[in-house]
Amino acid sequence: MANLISLQLGSFPELSCIWNGSNHCINLTTLKLSDCKKLRYIFSPTTARNLSHLVDIFIEGCEEIEQPILAEDQVSSSSSSNAGLQPISFPKFTNITVTNCGNLKSLFPFGFVHVLSKLECLLVERNSKLEQVFELEDEVEIAVGEEMKFDILRSLTLEELPNLIHFGPKGYHFVLPALIKLKVRDCPKLTTGFSINSQNFVHCETKV
């Protein structure tokens, strides 16, 4: 399993957990999940820390997923280890597609903006309960107007998300200098605005 580079799981209606340990699939580059109806999360923090080669992830029709990565405070003390002291890093993460996950309310914690420095394509569609793409963690202070960058993000699609309110937290300003494709459709509650400056850089901001 350690040498596996691509994993595709489809139509496993009773699957609730993918990995039971932290050292499986450490060379995985591509993960595709579809119609795993009882799957509530994809990675524990410990597993995520061991997937530094991951490039592409596609999630479709996993109706019970609440968040891709389980929060630290949701991990039992018996399953945690010293790895919890190490930051999660996805240095090669390039493509993320998440569609038809009806219980998903946010995609990533806001701290993952820096973790996803190699992100090139983000497609989020038909997730009926999604409220935020990047969610601000509890008790984290906002520096209003702080500028964040996705330096090589080329394609961003937000489509058929009836409850989407924010792309990122209020007061944060995203700059997307490499973006060449932006599609935002059927997101009636979205308060995040997109604009283009004189350098043709796309700016994304949710007003306080």
In 100-149, DSSP assigns E strands to: 106-109, 121-125, 132-135, 147-149
My answer on whether 100 and 145 are in the same domain is no
pLDDT at 71: 64
What domain count does the chain have?
2
Percentage of residues in the chain having pLDDT higher than 70: 84
> Residue 193: what are its φ and ψ, rounded to 5°?
-105, 150
pLDDT at 110: 83
Q: How does residue 90 score in pLDDT terms, banded at 50, 70 and 90?
A: confident
Euclidean distance between CA atoms 87 and 138, whole angstroms: 18
What is the rounded average pLDDT of the residues 99-111? 91
Euclidean distance between CA atoms 59 and 125, whole angstroms: 11
My answer on whether 100 and 7 are in the same domain is yes
Residue 59 included in any domain? yes
My answer on whether 14 and 70 are in the same domain is yes
pLDDT at 84: 45
My answer on whether 87 and 155 are in the same domain is no
Cα–Cα distances in angstroms (integers) from residue 82 to residues 19, 25, 49, 54, 85, in the given order: 18, 20, 11, 22, 6
Residue 109 included in any domain? no
pLDDT at 79: 46
The pLDDT of residue 77 is above 50: no
pLDDT at 173: 86
What is the rounded average pLDDT of the residues 106-129? 91
> Residue 48: what are its φ and ψ, rounded to 5°?
-60, -35
pLDDT at 80: 46
My answer on whether 157 and 100 are in the same domain is no
pLDDT at 55: 96
pLDDT at 107: 92
The pLDDT of residue 21 is above 70: no
What is the rounded average pLDDT of the residues 3-20? 89
Which residue carries 């494709």 as its tokens? 181
What is the residue-averaged pLDDT of the chain? 85
- pLDDT, tens digit, 9 for 90 and up, residues 31-65: 999 999 999 989 888 888 888 899 999 999 999 99
Q: How many Å separate Cα 96 from the centre of its chain?
A: 7
Percentage of residues in the chain having pLDDT higher than 90: 53
Range of the domain at 33: 1-104
Residue 113 included in any domain? no
Joined tokens for residue 124:
């989020």
My answer on whether 17 and 99 are in the same domain is yes
- pLDDT, tens digit, 9 for 90 and up, residues 152-194: 999 999 999 999 999 988 888 899 999 999 999 999 999 999 9
Joined tokens for residue 128:
């009926």
